[in-house]
A and B are shown apart, each in its own frame.
Chain A
């Protein structure tokens, strides 16, 4: 299953590049630098999805103490952190030519940085505690607390005056974007979601093999 997901992700990524660079038109105000959005926006959606899976795994672990649920939570939170890191870095690269700065402490950027730091802390916590059961329990609680910040990230652009623009797609009502741009975003989201699923299944399997080897 993992290999099939990997190949599907590779095909999806190739299709995403064709959509982002071949099909989607040059954006009128931003120019071609807007094409970074086909990576920046889907990366954060996949990160949110991965964190949702991680929180579900954490809750399942706290409820039933099943190691499989903890492994899924660990793998999903790790992969989500990788995708969120890509989102933040590509946002900074887009921000320099567009806003004139790599970084600014506005509400959206600050809140997303807080979530990123919390999930990095989650991964460090897992490394720091030797007792596997205790590490899993503490990490599960931390992942739930960290994920509680995600709605704050989403709504920060409505609740505060920010440099970051409000959502163009994940909002009530229909999108005002041209259909080619929406299609490019969705194809790239599907491709990155497949890549994320591939990473999560492979990492969870590896965690199971590591536990088996250490037992």
Chain B
């Protein structure tokens, strides 16, 4: 049977994109939350 390396690369590449994407999504939500918690500058 041929080795089908393209399919192997596609599977591992897809998993990297999904896990990396989830990691980035968590990081973005944490950044957004941190920005929300920053104290607002008081008016003069």
Q: Which of A29, A86, A93, A202 contacts B18 (CB 8 A)?
A: A86
19 new A-B pairs (CB below 8 Å) besides A31-B1, A97-B4, A203-B26? A32-B3, A35-B8, A39-B12, A39-B15, A82-B22, A86-B14, A86-B18, A89-B14, A89-B18, A90-B15, A93-B10, A93-B11, A94-B11, A97-B2, A199-B26, A202-B26, A206-B30, A206-B33, A209-B30
On chain B, the residues within 8 Å of A39 by CB distance are: 11-12, 15
A96 within 8 A of B: yes
Interface residues of B in 10-33 (CB under 8 A from A): 10-12, 14-15, 18-19, 22-23, 26, 29-30, 33
- Interface residue total, chain B, C-beta cutoff 8 A: 22
Q: Tell whether, in the assembled complex, residue B22 and residue A199 are in contact, meaning their CB atoms are under 8 Å apart.
A: yes
Number of A-B contacts (CB under 8 A): 69
Q: From A209, which residue of chain B is reached at the shortest CB distance?
A: B33
A interface size (C-beta, 8 A): 29
B14 to chain A, nearest CB (A): 6
In the complex, chain A residues whose CB is within 8 Å of the CB of B1? 29-31, 33, 97
B26 near A206 (CB under 8 angstroms)?
Answer: yes
CB of B43 closer than 8 Å to a CB of A: no
B3 to chain A: which residues have CB within 8 Å? 26, 31-33
